[in-house]
């Protein structure tokens, strides 16, 4: 209990803290940031390894024929079918083929009701096809999923997945003959990518969604242990991308990622993360410590973090993770006229993955769930990156605590004076004869002493406190009530911030309910409504100021800032638990500004602060994200315009994802980050008399 009860020690600590706060904060931030980014440097991170011994990757001998003829025929058949009807996905054909193979095959209809009354696509309906290969050695108690999205040929935004479909058919035919399966294998083909996957998963687990309504499934298997999602075009696959980022920043167990990567390597197929080429030296951990290697690794890690931060899955695997199913996507990237990976190799890889998964005795639990990948074969675990993130976050917390202490001391100062006057009054009112004079003398002495002490003790308390002390003489009553209230004085600001945050998160939905049908696109409408809320929120310090007398915002800015900083740290810390990347980027961008910002008499400085705060406001951050995602453009104007478009799309997707899939990014930004930011926004508006 030493530190909790021993006052002298604590006071020493606090005075040290107050003295060196700014330097310490800067140091913490810089060390944290550099330390975090340095994790990509090869000597600082670790090579991946298998924790789960049951997987035994690559130990079984492949039982596939050298050339998987069936897959090749399926591929050419599919090519013809899709060319015939380039605008529809080949569900019927897939269904028929699976029936012919002799598996239990079912179709599931689903419809999606878009939120916000989007006119053109109000209800979308589609059909999933799935086939279950029952395990011979078990009673359908566990299942594995091989999922392939069905995409029509003329889908411009996405590459085709024909290769995956053909492969799944070919593999199903082969797998069916094998006696060794101890887990059911479900071949799942989903229409409209994520919508179909979500509908099927919802029905499989009998959860209900308001917007995606799927028919009941005719048959199901046991709990799904793992899923592999394939996005393979028909031919000319140059290399694979392994995609891991899931919903709300969730990641699959590292063992599964390792498994896929290891088996790709075994078949001499190139595997990358987000198209980042890796040097052999880095892969096999030979001298990967040159600066070039570091740059490459850092790019890979940042790309991975960038995708994770969005909170939207990079592929269909993400929706499985929502149901506690470990899953990754294997994407084939096309490059013509070069060495390509043939379909047999891919088939062997997938066979290997499924045979390893077949060995599992328990759910994935051994390896990491929280990690960052600077390459496919290196990882940064939570134990490595969290401390450095903690340092960055601590910077804000430290400043907050320091401000709290100094705010408390300044209010105590005011309080003690008023208290003494009161006690004098009490003493005189009681009037206990002889004692009275002596007590009065004593209190006077004490008062003088204390005044001296307080003056000596707290030279660090900033100038404006001294000013309030001077004002104290004239406006004694007002000051006393203000100081006494303390926390209560900042309650109105906090309430307004919370209300505005609530409006920002609920506003778009409410507005679309109330508003008449303007003929504008949903994307525009969402952006404009958010913009309107944001603009009105910007004015709130001004409005609160004009309400009463000249200066109603004369609240204790130190207290406000300290509460805001503490809340900000709490938000980032809890965000870091489920989406470290988002939290890292926000901390890296917001903390430097929010720690520095303070009321100022200097107009120039004040405007500068406001500009900086605007720059880190959630909406401008969104725009910056749009800017970065559409970076290489020929002219600046084009860049800004396309950034505007992608920002709009981003917001639209964010809001709809919240409704359709229960994604949290939008809610976090509007209901948590935005109110906290508003607290800081009030700071430069507070008047302080010029020194």
Partner 1 sequence: MAAIGAYLSGILGLVLRILLMQTSFPKWLQTMNEVVTPVTAWDRVEEGFSLQKEFVSPYSGDLLHETPLALRFLKTAYYVPFGVKGFFIMIDFFTMILLYKIAALFKDSLIREQNIEKKKYSLKAEKLVLTPEEVSSLPTLILTVHAVNPFSIMTLLAMSTASLSNLVTLAALYYFLKGNQLMCTLFLAVSTYQTFYPVIFIVPAALQFYLLKEKEVNPQYESSKSYWSKEAITSYLQTVGLFLFFVTFLLGISYLYFEGSLDFIYSTYGFILTVPDLTPNVGVFWYFFTEMFDHFRTFFVCVFQLNAVIYTVPLTVKFAKTPFFLLYILLFLTSIFKSYPSYADAALYTSLLPLWRHTFSYFRNSLFVGGMYICCMVLAPILYHLWIFAGSANANFYFAITLTYSTAQIFLVTDLLFAYLRRDYDLYNGTEHKNVDGTKAAIVLE
Pick the piece of the chain touching partner 1 (CB under 8 A) from 150-158, 263-271, 279-287, 571-579.
571-579
Of 320, 376, 352, 353, the closest CA to residue 149 belongs to 320
Between 619 and 655, CB nearer to partner 1:
655
CB of 79 to partner 1, least distance (A): 40
Alpha-helical (H) ranges within 539-617 are 540-547, 557-578, 580-596, 603-615
**Gap between the Cα atoms of 117 and 123, Å rounded:** 10
The answer to the question of residue 510 lying near partner 1 (CB under 8 A) is no
The answer to the question of residue 570 lying near partner 1 (CB under 8 A) is yes
CB 415 within 8 A of CB 570: no
Q: How far is CA 70 from the centre of its chain?
A: 43
The answer to the question of residue 566 lying near partner 1 (CB under 8 A) is yes
The answer to the question of residue 14 lying near partner 1 (CB under 8 A) is no
**Gap between the Cα atoms of 590 and 612, Å rounded:** 10
412-447 burial code (b ≥16 CB/10 A, e <16): ebbbebbebeeeeeebeeeeeeeeeeebeeeeeeeb
Site string (229-268) toward partner 1, x via CB under 8 A: ---------------------xx-----------------
Between 150 and 403, CB nearer to partner 1:
403
The answer to the question of residue 224 lying near partner 1 (CB under 8 A) is no
In this structure, the chain runs to a length of 691
Among positions 10, 19, 444, 452, the unique one binding partner 1 when judged by CB under 8 A? 10
CB 152 within 8 A of CB 78: no
- Range 292-321, binding partner 1 (CB under 8 A): 321
Between 348 and 399, CB nearer to partner 1:
399
CB of 420 to partner 1, least distance (A): 7
Pick the piece of the chain touching partner 1 (CB under 8 A) from 13-21, 205-213, 511-519, 574-582.
574-582
Between 401 and 669, CB nearer to partner 1:
401
CB atoms within 10 A of CB 70: 19
Angle between helices 69-84 and 91-101 (to 10 degrees): 150
Between 1 and 604, CB nearer to partner 1:
1
CB of 110 to partner 1, least distance (A): 23
The answer to the question of residue 100 lying near partner 1 (CB under 8 A) is no
Between 427 and 624, CB nearer to partner 1:
427
The answer to the question of residue 531 lying near partner 1 (CB under 8 A) is no
Site string (418-457) toward partner 1, x via CB under 8 A: -xx-xx--xx-------x--xx--xx--x-----------
CB 353 within 8 A of CB 561: no
The answer to the question of residue 369 lying near partner 1 (CB under 8 A) is yes
The side-by-side arrangement of strands in the sheet containing 371-375 is: 46-47, 378-381, 371-375
The answer to the question of residue 361 lying near partner 1 (CB under 8 A) is no
Of 463, 496, 488, 471, the closest CA to residue 556 belongs to 488
Among positions 1, 361, 477, 636, the unique one binding partner 1 when judged by CB under 8 A? 1
Can you give 12-68 as a three-state secondary structure string? HHHHHHHHHHHHHHHHHHHHHHHHHHHCCCHHHCEECCCCCHHHCCCCCCCCCCCCC
Number of residues that bind partner 1 (CB under 8 A): 35
Kind and range of the H or E element at 145? strand 143-150
CB of 7 to partner 1, least distance (A): 5
- Range 179-218, binding partner 1 (CB under 8 A): none
Kind and range of the H or E element at 501? helix 487-514
The answer to the question of residue 483 lying near partner 1 (CB under 8 A) is no
Among positions 103, 131, 227, 401, the unique one binding partner 1 when judged by CB under 8 A? 401
CB of 443 to partner 1, least distance (A): 7
CB of 550 to partner 1, least distance (A): 27
CB of 599 to partner 1, least distance (A): 22
Between 92 and 447, CB nearer to partner 1:
447
The answer to the question of residue 6 lying near partner 1 (CB under 8 A) is yes
Put residue 193 in one of left, alpha, beta given phi > 0 → left and psi -120 to 50 → alpha.
Answer: left
Report CA-CA distances (Å) from 569 to 19, 181, 479, 600: 22, 49, 30, 24
Secondary structure (DSSP) of 609-651: HHHHHHHTSHHHHHHHHHHHHT---SSHHHHHHHHHHHHHHHH
The answer to the question of residue 362 lying near partner 1 (CB under 8 A) is no
In the complex, which residues of this chain contact partner 1 (CB under 8 A)?
A: 1, 4-8, 10, 250-251, 321, 324, 363, 365, 369-370, 401, 404, 419-420, 422-423, 426-427, 435, 438-439, 442-443, 446, 566, 570, 573-574, 577-578
């Amino acid at each position: 209990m030493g530190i909790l009860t021993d006052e002298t020690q604590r006071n020493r600590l606090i005075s040290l803290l107050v003295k060196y706060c700014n330097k310490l904060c800067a140091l913490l931030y810089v060390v944290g940031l550099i330390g975090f980014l340095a994790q990509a440097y090869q000597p600082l991170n670790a090579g991946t390894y298998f924790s789960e011994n049951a997987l035994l990757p690559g130990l079984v001998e492949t039982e596939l024929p050298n050339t998987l003829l069936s897959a090749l025929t399926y591929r050419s058949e599919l090519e013809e079918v899709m060319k015939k009807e380039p605008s529809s996905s080949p569900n019927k054909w897939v269904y028929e083929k699976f029936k012919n193979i002799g598996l239990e095959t079912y179709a599931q209809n689903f419809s999606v009701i878009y939120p916000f009354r989007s006119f053109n696509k109000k209800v979308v309906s589609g059909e999933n096809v799935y086939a279950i290969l029952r395990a011979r050695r078990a009673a359908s108690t566990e299942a594995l999923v091989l999922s392939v999205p069905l995409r029509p040929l003329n889908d411009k935004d996405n590459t085709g997945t024909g290769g995956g479909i053909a492969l799944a058919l070919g593999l199903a035919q082969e797998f069916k003959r094998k006696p060794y399966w101890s887990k059911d294998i479900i071949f799942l083909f989903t229409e409209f990518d994520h919508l179909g996957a979500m509908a099927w998963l919802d029905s499989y687990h009998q959860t209900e969604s308001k917007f995606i309504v799927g028919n009941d499934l005719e048959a199901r298997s046991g709990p799904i242990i793992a899923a592999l999602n394939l996005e393979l075009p028909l031919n000319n696959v140059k290399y694979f991308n392994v995609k891991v980022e899931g919903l709300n920043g969730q990641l699959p167990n590292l063992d599964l990622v390792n498994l896929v990567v290891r088996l790709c390597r075994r078949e001499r197929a190139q595997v990358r993360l987000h198209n980042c080429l890796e040097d052999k030296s880095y892969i096999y951990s030979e001298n990967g410590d040159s600066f070039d290697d570091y740059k490459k690794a850092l790019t890979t890690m940042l790309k991975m973090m960038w995708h994770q931060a969005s909170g939207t899955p990079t592929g269909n695997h993400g929706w499985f993770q929502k149901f506690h199913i470990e899953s990754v996507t294997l994407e084939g990237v096309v490059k013509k006229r070069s060495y390509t990976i043939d379909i047999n190799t891919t088939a062997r890889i997938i066979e290997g993955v499924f045979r390893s998964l077949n060995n599992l005795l328990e759910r994935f639990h051994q390896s990491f769930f929280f990690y960052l990948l600077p390459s496919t074969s290196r990882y940064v675990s939570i134990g490595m990156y969290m401390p450095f993130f903690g340092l960055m976050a601590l910077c804000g917390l430290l400043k907050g605590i320091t401000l709290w202490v100094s705010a408390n001391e300044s209010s105590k100062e005011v309080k003690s004076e008023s208290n003494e006057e009161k006690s004098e009054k009490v003493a005189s009112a009681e009037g206990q004869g002889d004692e009275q004079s002596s007590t009065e003398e004593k209190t006077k002495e004490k008062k003088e002493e204390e005044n001296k002490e307080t003056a000596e003790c707290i030279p660090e308390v900033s100038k404006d406190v001294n000013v309030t002390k001077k004002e104290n003489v004239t406006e004694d009553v007002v000051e006393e009530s203000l100081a006494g209230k303390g926390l209560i004085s900042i309650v109105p600001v906090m309430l307004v911030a919370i209300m505005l945050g609530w409006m920002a998160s609920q506003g778009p939905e409410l507005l679309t309910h109330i508003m008449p049908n303007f003929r504008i696109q949903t994307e525009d409408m969402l952006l404009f409504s958010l913009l309107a809320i944001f603009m009105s929120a910007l004015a709130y310090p001004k409005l609160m100021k004009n309400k009463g007398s000249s200066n109603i915002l004369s609240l204790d800015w130190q207290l406000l800032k300290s509460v805001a900083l503490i809340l900000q740290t709490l938000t980032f810390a809890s965000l870091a638990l489920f989406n470290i990347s988002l939290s890292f980027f926000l901390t890296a961008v917001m903390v430097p500004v929010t720690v520095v910002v303070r009321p100022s008499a200097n107009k120039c400085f004040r405007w500068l602060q406001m500009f900086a705060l605007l720059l880190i406001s959630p909406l401008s951050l969104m725009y910056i994200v749009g800017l970065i995602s559409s970076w290489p453009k020929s002219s600046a104007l084009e860049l800004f315009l396309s950034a505007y478009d992608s920002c709009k799309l981003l917001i639209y997707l964010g809001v709809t994802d919240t409704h359709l899939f229960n994604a949290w990014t939008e809610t976090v930004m509007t209901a948590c980050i935005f109110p906290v930011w508003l607290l800081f926004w009030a700071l430069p508006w507070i008047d302080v008399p010029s020194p």
